[in-house]
Amino acid sequence: MMEAKHKAYLEELAAKVDAKLLEYVQVTPETRRQAQVVEAMRYSLEAGGKRIRPVLVLEFCRIFGGSEEQAMAAACAIEMVHTFSLIHDDLPEMDNDDYRRGKPSCHKAFGHAVALQAGDALLTEAFAVILRDPILEPEMKVELLQILTSATGAAGMVGGQIMDMANEKRSDVTLEEQEAMCAAKTGALIRGACRLGCAAGFAPKEQVALADQYGAKLGLAFQIVDDILDVTSTSEVLGKPVGSDAAEGKTTFVTLLGLEVAKTRAAALTAEAEQILSQFPQHEFLLDLTRELLCREK
């Protein structure tokens, strides 16, 4: 369990991000004819989730002395990219998931075409909110967007989703391949979040590299925990079907390592992540959050 003050602080940050996301994505006079796609974007943004990525952006910015205002556009942008990826990942041609966070997935609620387009529009809007930000300098906008596109594109998250799909058809995926897939699919965006926060806070270069390493450890541990929960949790707790990996014969860190070794591995990665974190000033909240993410039950 997180310390009460950290839990309250996490909720405060998440609430600020929630409010800003819905402020960014609204039906305007220009979009009144395509209000449905904007509603679908808002539906998926409102479906919640832990807001880990935006919190990492905001916290790394704060650690290096930056303000919330400097980091908020980037924080919301990375959550939009994450949400876009979930919408497209749930589509029938990908994972074909009817539920997401306990609610019908976007294509179940709005239809396949609207969900496809809502994802496309969210990805575009992620870049747009950084571009439109009133306080960021052009140099900063370019730096933030470069981090975001690298984390998102063929060498990042999108590429990872394709590796994941390709691996699903195979029964001989190696641990090295699984780690590479996970580094791209989950890791790229988490590392991107850490780097965005550092950039927004004008962190020194060597500190950015450290934050990036922390993100890589956290991302891998996060995915291993996800794989563990898919075999140990219940759909009521998770808010999504459990056992789906096994039912599909999917390679996971649990099938590759076994449940106990997977747990040990996640714990070791978190210890390494914690060790890196402890080198940053004002790291107490992120340290507590990192531990919470490993002990999470959903």
Q: Which residues are at the interface with a copy of itself (CB under 8 A)?
A: 28, 30-31, 33-34, 36-38, 41, 84, 88, 91-94, 107, 111-117, 119-121, 123-125, 127-128, 131-132, 137-139, 141-142, 145-146, 149-150, 152-155, 158-163, 165-166, 177, 180-181, 184
Reported for 225-231, long-range contacts at CB under 8 A and 24+ positions apart, including other chains, are 225/266, 225/293, 225/294, 225/296, 226/186, 227/252, 227/253, 227/254, 227/262, 228/253, 228/254, 228/259, 228/262, 228/263, 228/266, 229/296, 229/297, 229/298, 230/254, 231/259
Residues near 140 by beta carbon (within 8 Å), at least 6 away in sequence: 199, 200
Residue 142 or 295: the one with the smaller Cβ distance to a copy of itself is: 142
Residue 212 or 292: the one with the smaller Cβ distance to a copy of itself is: 212
Residue 142 or 261: the one with the smaller Cβ distance to a copy of itself is: 142
Q: How far is the CB of 12 from a copy of itself (least distance, A)?
A: 29
Among residues 180, 188, 129, which one has the least CA distance to residue 158?
A: 188
CB half-sphere exposure, 183, CA atoms < 13 A: 12
Q: How far is the CB of 193 from a copy of itself (least distance, A)?
A: 16
Q: Is 25 helix (H, G, I), strand (E, B) or coil?
A: coil
In contact, 59 and 200? CB cutoff 8 Å: no
Any bridge partners for residue 103, and if so which?
100
Q: Is 159 helix (H, G, I), strand (E, B) or coil?
A: helix
Q: How far is the CB of 166 from a copy of itself (least distance, A)?
A: 7
Alpha carbon distance 256, 189 (integer Å):
24
Q: Is 296 helix (H, G, I), strand (E, B) or coil?
A: coil
Q: How far is the CB of 277 from a copy of itself (least distance, A)?
A: 27
